[in-house]
């Protein structure tokens, strides 16, 4: 089975992936690493890592599809984690690889941007790549406001493409249920 955990930046995907590695010994592939590999490895691809996650997702789509096609023939389970799989692509993957894909999206469309910004500051030490660390409080609130709007878009795209979406309110409390939902036997 290929499990895909996608959604909005800073929704807890990497934290959940780390737990799945520890508890289920599953192999995990981060779409961020694929993005950076292609960015650094081939200038001709013109993958602009500073564009929106949706824009970068479209640029990565053929490479992710090829990787997933390769993984679909293997016996081991894999978790692909990252923002670069959008609901329309997840739907396409479920049609291309029936009974081999299980996808779950995380977001926080109902969050308060000020509270979310405070959470990001509070949890910064546990984050591998705190790319927002040098932002002022105002900039961070602008970022969380943007990501909340992106969560709303993701939620509606999930409805449109019949993908599962979980609203994250407190990742430390929600992660057990998210892992159960992702790894359950039901195919999305």
* Both tokens assigned to 112: 């308060």
For the chain, domain boundaries: 2-107+163-183
CA 131 to the chain's CA centroid: 16
Mean pLDDT computed over 8-33: 95
Q: pTM of the full predicted structure? A: 0.93
CA 41 to the chain's CA centroid: 22
Task: Provide CATH code, domain 2-107+163-183.
Answer: 3.40.50
The answer, yes or no, to whether residue 188 has pLDDT greater than 60, is no
* Backbone dihedral region for residue 42 (phi beyond 0: left; psi -120 to 50: alpha; all else: beta): beta
Q: Mind listing the pLDDT tens digit for each residue in 101-155? A: 999 999 999 999 999 999 989 888 877 778 888 889 999 999 999 999 999 999 9
């Amino acid at each position: 089975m290929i499990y895909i955990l996608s959604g909005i930046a800073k929704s807890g995907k990497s934290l959940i992936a780390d737990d799945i590695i520890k508890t289920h010994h599953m192999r995990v592939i981060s779409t961020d690493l694929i993005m950076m590999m292609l960015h650094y490895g081939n200038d001709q691809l013109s993958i602009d890592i500073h564009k929106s996650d949706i824009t970068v997702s479209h640029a990565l789509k053929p490479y992710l599809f090829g990787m997933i096609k390769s993984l679909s023939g293997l016996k081991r389970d894999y978790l692909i984690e990252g923002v670069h799989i959008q609901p329309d692509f997840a739907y396409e993957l479920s049609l291309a690889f029936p009974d081999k894909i299980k996808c779950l999206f995380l977001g926080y469309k109902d969050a308060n941007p000020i509270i979310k910004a405070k959470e990001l500051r509070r949890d910064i030490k546990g984050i591998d790549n705190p790319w927002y660390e040098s932002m002022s409080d105002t900039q961070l609130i602008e970022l969380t406001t943007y990501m909340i709007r992106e969560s709303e878009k993701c939620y509606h795209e999930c409805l449109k493409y019949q993908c599962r979406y979980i609203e994250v309110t407190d990742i430390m409390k929600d992660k057990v249920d998210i892992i159960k939902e992702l790894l359950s036997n039901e195919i999305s």
